[in-house]
Copies of this chain bind each other. A is one copy, B any other.
Amino acid sequence: MRDFHTDHRWLSINTATVRMQHGEPWPLPKILDACAARGIRAVSPWRDQVAAAGLAATAAQLKALELELSGYCRGGLFTYTDAASKQAVRDDNLRALDEACTLGAPCLVLVVGALPGALAGKVAHKDIALARTQVGEGIAWLLEQARARRMPLAIEPLHPMYAADRACVNTLAQALDLCEALDPAPAGEAAALGVAVDAYHVWWDPDLESQIARAGGGSDGDSGRGRGANRLLAFHVCDWLVPTTDLLEDRGMPGDGVIELPRLRGWVEAAGFAGYSEVEIFSRRHWWQREGGEVLDTCIERHRRCV
């Protein structure tokens, strides 16, 4: 396992972590400058932040600052209720894909969607099996577009508490089933479809260690599967607070909660992941109320000590 104690070469900042300071938006250009000034080498920006700053301007700034991306957030939300909404979803995902290419992202992260209308508080239907079918079809369609652009797609399984409204792919096993069905890449080949493992979403899973090994391409023992491609495209960290007071925006700084982050990182690295450890924290009551630079400094310190 890599030693993070002495530097932050492998720290990436998901820009949602500092999307606000004192409750007000912190613009992406300032976030990128503040990251570069601290020797942070990579970020993972969100589409709305990029749109506000301008795509070309963001690409130019990233290049000037020599900042890499550890991912691009995000495509997905594949579920729909009619032909028009299905087409709108696909058009939007194509735009996300093209933006990821322009920015030189290593992958487009997919939050796959769930029951249509749930995010607005009014579901069109309750059929989660149908939602899962639509998600599989949506990913299959997008994968062809992504292959043509050589842009890997990273399915991010979300915590089961988001199954109704954000993502109906809720375990690493479920995400890997999709990967293997849609992209049967053998060992040694680059996966066109992989996973983003976010500690917050998967830490509770009793099968986590074996499924991480499977994601890395190893046999998972139980299934008799042979070795396949390494599908570990991204690794996100934050922490689970006790108590957690909000389902979405009460995530913790690494070290402030109960997730054994070094153990998880050990599993991910043993499975072949050697990329960035991306800090992604949505925290309305704590970190979005602080000065942005202070949050970045804390991320650096915690990356070295707690991840």
Contact = CB atoms under 8 A, between A and B. Distances in A.
A244 interface: yes
A57 interface: no
Nearest to A259: B126
A121 interface: yes
Given A126-B258, A174-B206, A161 B242 contact: no
A115 interface: yes
Interface stretch (A62-70, A141-149, A163-171): A163-171
Nearest to A162: B204
> Chain A, interface size: which category?
20 to 34
Number of this chain's copies in the complex: 2
Contact of A121 (B126, B163, B243): B243
Contacts of A244: 161, 247
Consensus secondary structure, chain A interface: loop
A163 B204 contact: yes
A123 interface: yes
Contacts of A204: 128, 160, 163-164, 168, 170
Nearest to A204: B163
Interface in A165-199: 165, 168, 170-171, 174
Interface of A: 115, 118-119, 121-123, 126-128, 132, 159-161, 163-165, 168, 170-171, 174, 203-206, 240, 242-245, 247, 257-260
